[in-house]
Chain A
Amino acid sequence: MVALAQSDSALLDSLRTLRWPARRTSPVGMPGGHLARVLGASAEFTEYRAYQQGDDTRRIDWKLLARSNRAYIRLSNDRTVMSTMLLVDASASLAYPTDTLEKWRYARHVALGLAAAAHSTGDPVGVMLATANGPRRLPPRTRRSVVYEIAQVMDDTSSAGSPLLAPLLPLLRSAGRIAIVSDFLGDTDPLIRAAGQLVAAGREVHAVHVLHAHELDPPRKTTLLVDPEDVSLKRPVTDATRRKYLETFGAWRERLARDWRMVGAYYSAVVTTEPVAHAVRRVVVRRAV
């Protein structure tokens, strides 16, 4: 058993009863907790349908045929699992502040909370980390220790460099649900386009936007700011530039949320000042199908 940090244990305890229901019907797969896209032959009766050529004769309701001399087959709502993959951005922009790495720790906790919620629902869950040294992938599993393994993988990862997320997204096509945990300061436009393709293919895509409190309210005592991913990018901080920043950044966030929603993804913004459990519940609990 992998040892968990105290904050991880506290988070998992607080999310113990949380489930992550699917927001649309799922492709038919292993029996699970989500409604399947097609009606199946389970014991849970839903309706009759007239027998058609090609139907399995074993699904004909013989008692009804004996009474009415008409052949019908029994249909039922199938329940299936939804494989969930977390795509976590481990770029340098999340390594902020440089001494505490609070933003990266927060993103890691959010991903861990989502994994725990999916696992509690009975779904196989895995993770793919976009790191500077290439992607690190943990395939979706339903075994009990998978959440701890995900925590361990993220513990062993440091946020650095400028890895791209968009090329990794098609690799997750096999999953029914994909949650992207990032600050979306990298290849955002290609990522949204790739996510749109997955949504069109029937996948459920969640975009979790991680924001640090300083990004919403930059510190006033600093006179020069540097981009952690590009040290040559420096900007002076004055009252005027600060006002302009707040205006530009706010508009960008609005446009980002709109773009995600336009492609059919579910966009959520979480701020580091918000308790992680609260943020995870806000991402997970929505109008369930």
Chain B
Amino acid sequence: MLSFLHPGFLYAAIAAAAGIVALHFIITEQPRTGVLPTVRFFPDLPARASTLTLRLSDILLLALRVTTVLLIGAAFAQPRITPTHHTVTCVVGINVPSASPRAKEAADSTLLYIGDAAAVIRDSSGSLSSLLVSALRAGARVRESADSIELVLISQFTTNERDAATLAIRSRWPGRIRVVRIPPDTTHQPARQQLRVEWADSVAGSLWARRARVDTVGAVAVGATSVLIYPFVRRWRLAVQPGKDVRIVARWVDGEPAIVESVAGGTCLRSVSFTPPVVGDAILRWDFVRFGEYVRTSCGAATPTLLPPEFVAALEGPAHLAASSAIAPRVTRMTPLVPWLLGAAILLALLELALRRQRRADAASNEGTPGLDRAA
């Protein structure tokens, strides 16, 4: 939808154009009078001339002038193209990996909302925080298209998707969030089995591949158990596709898997891609203590659980929808239409000038001097 940043200029241009049109009608043109010595030989008829008439040349001039004024007004009004405006639109965020057995259910749920959706976001990182950040950006992008925006989050809402920043990021969304829960996948959860912990830095198993560039990551989120904040050195990346056989139980803060579990021959293999510190004050922190306990627990006990109802309620937030005006707008730039409009206006002004000069020349030639100087 085309809108204007400063519509006052356009209104002023329309008023000016109306004035020009009125002048073209109001100015009564006197009959074109000329002198002729032999006028006495014309029959003596009453001289009558009709007024308020527009000839073709006048219409051309009128069209040129009006178009020029309107183009200048439109250029200064700075037109912007925005989507069609609705009362309510929605942003749909999907946090179900496509490899998940629940992906089809997530797609079915999405279909319920996609008809009214102005934006659909798919985030396969498995982090609610990441999904919320993407939703905030989408909301800023579509805020001009509706008065209110509803955010729909489709996810399993397990404790693995939550982190410490989730609620803080959620508070940036100024309205209700509709939570659509996909039942968690329980088919691959193993029974309590014998546990074997494998440290990738010590035993380079087949689950991990060495990263091309070693970096340091500040923290690891281990499900809902703990968040380890430490200058870990990240050397490994997951070499296999997570799914039914390989399950992610901890992630780096950027969403990359950090700890995975797999079942092989009745044994639960827990593979950790980093080496926790063994000395220093860090190991005394409560999160590291809980991490140590977690590492020693069996696989079944580490199965992600659903987020508690109070957390989901906090995620849903207030009952009202988010007002578009409450969402921070994106920074807009001057539309590239403006210089084109100004250029077209200048071109039309030059055409109008040329047309007027041509008409003046035609009038002069009508009074013409056919050729006295051909005397000799």
Contacts and interface: CB of A to CB of B under 8 A. Distances in A.
B43 interface: yes
Interface in B30-48: 31-48
A145 interface: no
A74 interface: no
B376 A13 contact: yes
Given A185-B38, A221-B363, 13 more contacts: A7-B372, A13-B376, A97-B368, A100-B369, A109-B372, A215-B36, A223-B32, A224-B33, A225-B39, A229-B37, A248-B41, A272-B371, A272-B372
Contact of A96 (B32, B35, B370, B372): B35
A233 B367 contact: no
A26 interface: no
Contacts of B241: none
A249 B41 contact: yes
B376 A218 contact: no
Contact of A224 (B40, B47, B363): B47
A11 B376 contact: yes
B369 A235 contact: no
A273 B371 contact: yes
A215 B37 contact: yes
Interface residues of B, number: 31
A221 B55 CA distance: 13
B375 interface: yes
Interface in B1-60: 31-49
What are the 10 closest A-B residue pairs judged by CB atoms, nearest first? A235-B42, A93-B37, A222-B34, A276-B375, A14-B376, A223-B31, A236-B47, A249-B41, A10-B376, A225-B39
26 contacts: A10-B375, A10-B376, A11-B376, A96-B36, A96-B37, A97-B367, A102-B370, A103-B37, A185-B38, A215-B37, A223-B31, A223-B49, A224-B31, A224-B32, A224-B33, A224-B49, A225-B39, A235-B40, A236-B31, A236-B45, A236-B47, A245-B38, A245-B42, A252-B41, A276-B376, A277-B375
A170 interface: no
Interface in A186-244: 212-215, 218-219, 221-229, 233-237, 241-242, 244
B40 A234 contact: no
B47 A235 contact: yes
A6 B49 CA distance: 44
A11 B49 CA distance: 45
A102 B34 contact: no
A131 B235 CA distance: 116
Contact of B375 (A11, A224, A242): A11
A167 interface: no
Interface string B350-376: 000000000000010011111111111
Contacts of A98: 35
Interface of A: 7, 10-11, 13-14, 93-94, 96-100, 102-103, 105-106, 109, 183, 185, 212-215, 218-219, 221-229, 233-237, 241-242, 244-245, 248-249, 252, 272-273, 275-277
Contacts of B373: 7
A96 B370 CA distance: 12
Given A223-B49, A235-B47, A241-B42, A275 B32 contact: no
Given A109-B372, A275-B374, A277-B375, A244 B33 contact: no
Contacts of B40: 185, 227, 233, 235
Contact of A244 (B36, B42, B370): B42
Interface of B: 31-49, 363, 366-376
A219 B367 contact: yes
A13 B43 CA distance: 44
Which of B33, B38, B373, B376 gathers the greatest number of chain A CB atoms within 10 Å? B38
A86 B39 CA distance: 27
A199 B37 CA distance: 29
Contacts of B375: 7, 10-11, 14, 109, 275-277
Given A223-B49, A224-B33, A97 B369 contact: yes
A284 to B, nearest CB: 15
A234 B47 contact: yes
Contacts of B34: 219, 222, 224-226
Given A235-B44, A236-B47, A213 B36 contact: no
A235 B36 CA distance: 10
A217 to B, nearest CB: 10
Contacts of A11: 375-376
A10 B373 CA distance: 10
A281 B33 CA distance: 37
A247 to B, nearest CB: 9
A225 B33 contact: yes
A233 B366 contact: no
Contacts of B371: 272-273
